Structure 1
Amino acid sequence: MSDLLFRFLHAADFRLDTPLHGVAEVPDAISRWMIDAPYVAAERVFDAAIQEQVKLVVLSGNLLDLVEPHPRAICFVRDQLARLAGHGVTVCWAGGVRDGGGQWPASIALPPSVHHFQAAAVDTLALEKQLEFPLTVVGRSGGENTAIRASDFFVEARESFLVAVTCGEADGAVLAMQPIDYWALGGRNERKTLATEPHTVHYPGTPQGRQPMAVGPYGCTIVDILASRQVRLRFVSCEAARWQHERVLVSSGTVWEDLEQKLAERIQDLRAQQPNGPLLTRWTLVATDVAEDPAVWRELRERTDKWLRKQAASQSDPCWPLAVDVEIPDRITAASYKEDTLLGDYLRAIRQLQDSPQPADLSAVSALGAGVPEMQWVTDLSDPAVRAQVLQEAAEMGAALLRGEKMV
């Protein structure tokens, strides 16, 4: 660690006002977790700052909604920022569209150690005195759909390590070529480093995934400034509840006791990765063969779901099964797509959607579920993986119905 000169924490996109969603049914105990999870995850970010003994925390966008504020969110942010101030931590906060500088309630004072950037213009803060390290922060509040213009963040501070903090869409290659050592960005849920050479451009992502497709760990980033003026990034997991998607191979002749053992081992592995808090898990039984009677899969799926729910009920930190699906080998032949039948027409329409980069028009379906988060998730096909899965399932389900087959 002798090459370490300075350390700070970078976090973003708390979205305290947005609870976990996209789930049709969960027990009351887990629903309470889903409501509180954004706050618990955000508090773990501040815990990490104190545990790591950093002198600077950089927050880049979308912490809370200050346009339609919720008292709980405002009190939480105020208390956590005061907590950092009590440990001598300086905070630089560039908001998004709904939490920019000037939107914070004037009647609720923030600690003097908090710098909340405005959206109107880029501001420059020389923090060498506070941090006892030559570091300058240039920042401006922005918006996740706003392109970040590198030229706006020009500053002359050759001897100082330069950090730019803002929220928006970035061209990593362009930003990396600017004389900014570290771009602390916000405005996206997924953690991503756009560039590391010659300078680093980084989104830490949200500390808490919000819906079933947000699989895997979420958290914040510890940034180490090295003697070479390069940075070393270290991920810190913060989420209160983790979304998972587990795929388990099964055959039509699977003995239940063998599958039960396999499921138990998988749950044990998941719990080793995330010791505390609920695991919200989608399970997919991947069929390795085609059963003569489709009812085999339906019965296996129902038994698996029942067993998983029973296991979750006995756990203090449950691995709750959001859904159990069966993935059956594709039985749609190439000849089916050429048929001069309703089936052929349907499959060709699906293929056209699969081959087109344009999203499917689901406005009519979305309108039916207006204001319902679960429906918004179902009709959101912006994720390529989700889009491919939904269209493939639509092809198989439609083909089975048009052939008059039993549905699993």
Structure 2
Amino acid sequence: MPAESSKNLSSKKQSSTAESFRFVHASDFHLERPLGDLDELPSHLRDAMAMAPFTAGDAIFEAALSGNVDFVVLSGDLLHPQSAGPYAMSWLLNHFEKLGAAKIPVFWAAGVADDPAKWPDAVPLPPNVTLFPKDRATSTYVTRAGRTICEVIGQSSDGRSSLHVPSYEIPTTDDFTVGVGYGTSRAEALAEARIDYWALGGKHNRTEIDGGATSGAVYCGTPQGRDLNEHGAHGYSMVEVDADRNVRVHEMHCDVFRYCQIAIDPEDIANVGNIRNAMGERIARLQHDNGGRHLILGWDITLQSGDQLQSIGDSQELLAWLRQQHGHGTPSAWTANLRVRPPKQYPKSWTEEDTILGDYLRIAADHRQKDGSDLNLLAMTEQHEALPATTASLLASIPAGGQTEVMEQATLLGAELLRGGKPYWVQKS
């Protein structure tokens, strides 16, 4: 059963003939996109990762059927037909047909990926599916037992990044109106149209726009996050409207893999004694809080001193330990990204050494005191004739805001190499 949270909203518009109804709002399936931020596909999770977007989508359509909804609205970027291929198109059409057999209409406002011009003419959509045109907003009345329960107004994206709200302006009626569209917009612009509820697409993380409509304006987000920028819960909306036009929006979670960004600070390490205990405790907490889903983790570790750096050990070994210890369970917690931020101070014994390491740390400390403002790599690039001109130019002109970070990362890298270890920074390996 998908996880759920809900929010009560109300419409100021009243009608003595209004009826209650419910519908599903989903968007941004992106069936053409695999899960990202993965340097390798762990063999035991390969099939589940490949099918995750489809499994999440299955949950949406199954909820529509089992929940006896009156209709389904889809607000863009379901799939790129050519990139997603025959399997994804067949999958989508099969679900449309199942909804059609249950007499559930589908209203689809396409986005950029699913531009109606890209849909093959040889593959007609089932009769229960309304794919809104790109050049104008069109209106459809939803009926039940011969009575109108609401009006759905939609338009597919015309290629602009923002939603063209003026297209949705229609004569005022007593019917509850649902606007279906794709693209960014502001509350002030959305409020200008006579729409009770905006079902929006184009944002992968769920976003609610206060003041955008009398009964809510929601980007429901993608059903399955694809990278560490799309961390947290993902799913769809189940929207219920009662006879008094009060609206209840249920946020339903259906993601199979959940991306998590995790920050570890010096206090976290100090409280439990070492980095591995701190990471293990955090993983246990995340697994409990995320309902038994597979987790894909990105770690950001901040160190206070060189002593804590020593406690971490080799970063490649730490990454291997995380994957072996926590990445093979049921559910799995797979580490995709591990970043160790350099400490501000290194052990005094290192700095005072009469060695190359000591000399290096003392010189680096002088540069850091100047915030890296005297950092000039141009002379070094000129020593490598084979270096591409573009690369040399980038290295020779470090932006002012990034000089300190470059110095800190270089100090950390040099210190570890001079101590005979491996670099502590691990990006998307």
TM interval, shorter chain, is 0.7 to 0.9
CA separation of 1:224/1:391 partners in 2, compared to 1, >3 Å: closer, same or farther? farther
- Report the equivalent of 1:64: 79
- Report the equivalent of 2:169: 154
Separation in structure 1 between the aligned mates of residue 402 and residue 246 of structure 2, nearest angstrom: 43
Separation in structure 2 between the aligned mates of residue 193 and residue 229 of structure 1, nearest angstrom: 19
- Report the equivalent of 2:182: 167
Separation in structure 2 between the aligned mates of residue 222 and residue 107 of structure 1, nearest angstrom: 33
- Pairwise mapping of residues 239-278 of structure 1 onto structure 2 (< 5 A)? 239-250=255-266, 259-278=275-294
- Pairwise mapping of residues 234-313 of structure 1 onto structure 2 (< 5 A)? 234-250=250-266, 259-287=275-303, 289-292=304-307, 294-299=309-314, 301-302=315-316, 304-312=318-326
Separation in structure 2 between the aligned mates of residue 162 and residue 253 of structure 1, nearest angstrom: 53
The more displaced of 142-151 and 12-21 is 142-151
Separation in structure 1 between the aligned mates of residue 57 and residue 268 of structure 2, nearest angstrom: 45
- Report the equivalent of 2:25: 10
CA separation of 1:28/1:187 partners in 2, compared to 1, >3 Å: closer, same or farther? same
**Can you give the 5+ residue segments of structure 1 that lack an aligned partner in the other structure?**
348-363, 366-388
Q: Aligned pair 1:49/2:78, yes or no?
A: no
3-state secondary structure, aligned to 2:151: strand
Q: Given the alignment, which residue of 67, 71, 83 partners 2:98?
A: 83
3-state secondary structure, aligned to 1:344: coil
Q: Aligned pair 1:344/2:359, yes or no?
A: no
Separation in structure 1 between the aligned mates of residue 413 and residue 283 of structure 2, nearest angstrom: 35
Q: Aligned pair 1:30/2:59, yes or no?
A: no
Q: Aligned pair 1:323/2:367, yes or no?
A: no
| Superposed displacement of residue 185, structure 1 | 1.2
| Superposed displacement of residue 38, structure 1 | 1.4
2:321 aligned partner, one-letter code: W
- Pairwise mapping of residues 187-198 of structure 1 onto structure 2 (< 5 A)? 187-196=202-211, 198=213
Q: Aligned pair 1:203/2:219, yes or no?
A: yes
| Superposed displacement of residue 80, structure 1 | 1.0
Separation in structure 1 between the aligned mates of residue 250 and residue 412 of structure 2, nearest angstrom: 48
- Report the equivalent of 1:21: 36
| Superposed displacement of residue 314, structure 1 | 4.2
**Can you give the 5+ residue segments of structure 2 that lack an aligned partner in the other structure?**
1-7, 11-18, 346-363, 377-389, 392-400, 425-429
Separation in structure 2 between the aligned mates of residue 283 and residue 220 of structure 1, nearest angstrom: 27
CA separation of 1:314/1:151 partners in 2, compared to 1, >3 Å: closer, same or farther? closer
| Superposed displacement of residue 401, structure 1 | 6.2
Q: Aligned pair 1:213/2:225, yes or no?
A: no
Separation in structure 2 between the aligned mates of residue 202 and residue 333 of structure 1, nearest angstrom: 50
Deviations 1:308-331 (A, max 9, x none): 222235413311111333234445
Separation in structure 2 between the aligned mates of residue 239 and residue 390 of structure 1, nearest angstrom: 36
- Pairwise mapping of residues 169-184 of structure 1 onto structure 2 (< 5 A)? 169-184=184-199
How big is the alpha-carbon RMSD for the aligned residues of Structure 1 and Structure 2? 3.7
Q: Aligned pair 1:396/2:412, yes or no?
A: no
3-state secondary structure, aligned to 1:38: helix
3-state secondary structure, aligned to 1:10: strand
CA separation of 1:139/1:29 partners in 2, compared to 1, >3 Å: closer, same or farther? same
Separation in structure 1 between the aligned mates of residue 159 and residue 369 of structure 2, nearest angstrom: 41
Instruction: Figure out how many residues of one structure are paired with residues of the other and give that number.
Output: 367
1:396 aligned partner, one-letter code: E
- Report the equivalent of 1:352: none
| Superposed displacement of residue 227, structure 1 | 4.7
Could you tell me whether the CA contact under 8 Å between 1:252 and 1:290 is conserved in 2? no
Separation in structure 2 between the aligned mates of residue 129 and residue 392 of structure 1, nearest angstrom: 65
1:215 aligned partner, one-letter code: H
* Higher Cα radius of gyration: 2
| Superposed displacement of residue 233, structure 1 | 1.9
Q: Aligned pair 1:126/2:141, yes or no?
A: yes
Could you tell me whether the CA contact under 8 Å between 1:13 and 1:205 is conserved in 2? yes
1:397 aligned partner, one-letter code: Q
| Superposed displacement of residue 263, structure 1 | 3.5
CA separation of 1:231/1:24 partners in 2, compared to 1, >3 Å: closer, same or farther? same
The more displaced of 169-178 and 69-78 is 169-178
Could you tell me whether the CA contact under 8 Å between 2:198 and 2:213 is conserved in 1? no
- Report the equivalent of 1:108: 123
CA separation of 1:69/1:37 partners in 2, compared to 1, >3 Å: closer, same or farther? closer
| Superposed displacement of residue 110, structure 1 | 2.7
| Superposed displacement of residue 132, structure 1 | 4.8
3-state secondary structure, aligned to 1:128: strand
- Report the equivalent of 1:353: none
Structure 2 length normalisation: TM-score? 0.74
3-state secondary structure, aligned to 1:127: strand
Separation in structure 2 between the aligned mates of residue 222 and residue 152 of structure 1, nearest angstrom: 26
- Report the equivalent of 1:225: 241
| Superposed displacement of residue 333, structure 1 | 8.7
Separation in structure 1 between the aligned mates of residue 326 and residue 370 of structure 2, nearest angstrom: 47
1:317 aligned partner, one-letter code: P
Deviations 1:148-182 (A, max 9, x none): 22221122251111111111221222112321111
Separation in structure 2 between the aligned mates of residue 98 and residue 398 of structure 1, nearest angstrom: 41
Could you tell me whether the CA contact under 8 Å between 1:206 and 1:218 is conserved in 2? yes
| Superposed displacement of residue 223, structure 1 | 1.6
| Superposed displacement of residue 90, structure 1 | 1.4
